[in-house]
Amino acid sequence: MNTYAEFLLLGLGNGGVFAALAVALVVTYRSSGVLNFATGARYESPSPVQARYVASDVEHHGQNVPAGSIMLALTASANRDERRFPDPDRFDIHRNIGHHVAFGYGIHFCLGAALARLEGRVALDEVLQRFPSWEIDWDKAEPAHTSTVRGWEKLPVWI
Ligand code: HEM
């Protein structure tokens, strides 16, 4: 390993793909398994919260939510819901994920999901074929501080 590279992560859209890619790389690095984009997206959802304005009174789980409220759906938390994903904090590429909500749900489901999955798969394949072994420089890794996207601002690696 003699080259220093850096993943610079931007906002959502294509940035989300790279955020998810970097997450997948990091998670896989930690668990020393095989890379898997969907597993990474469930485990470390790049878009962890979705906000909603409540248009009419509604009840959720026995709680009344009045019209005019702001609700925040914690989709990253839903992706680790033990009722849906047994042992949810375990990163397991062999897990049958079925349905996760990393791309949202319902009428606002991510328009770019198919593209993101394709780009993620291609990027993971290419990165791993080109750089089969690598080491993260944790001292210089910087988490991204945004209100909407979870990932890494900087993820320097030795390749
Ligand atoms: C890993 C990559 C990505 C992730 C995790 C992601 C995640 C999401 C999520 C969770 C939502 C739902 C937002 C909500 O319910 O309020 C969303 C919506 C959306 N995404 Fe993505 N996204 C990704 C990549 C992309 C790409 C590549 C594009 C476009 C090329 C894109 C375009 C959109 C659009 C236009 C919406 C709004 C859909 C609507 O409101 O009807 N996304 N995305």
CA of 135 to the centre of ligand 1 (A): 30
The token duo for 88 is 């949810």
How many other CB atoms sit within 10 Å of the CB of residue 2? Answer: 5
Q: Average pLDDT over the chain, rounded to whole? A: 80
Task: Determine the pLDDT at residue 151.
Answer: 78
What CA–CA distance (Å, rounded) separates 13 from 128? 22
Q: Is the distance from CB of 93 to CB of 34 less than 8 angstroms?
A: yes
* More confident of the two residues 115 and 29: 115
Q: Which residues line ligand 1 at a C-beta cut-off of 6 Å?
A: 12-14, 16-17, 20, 46-47, 50, 102-104, 108, 110-112, 115-116
Closest CA to 87 of 28, 96, 33, 38: 96
Task: Determine the pLDDT at residue 40.
Answer: 79
Name the pTM for this structure: 0.82
What CA–CA distance (Å, rounded) separates 74 from 7? 26
| Beta-strand pair 152-158/4-8 | antiparallel
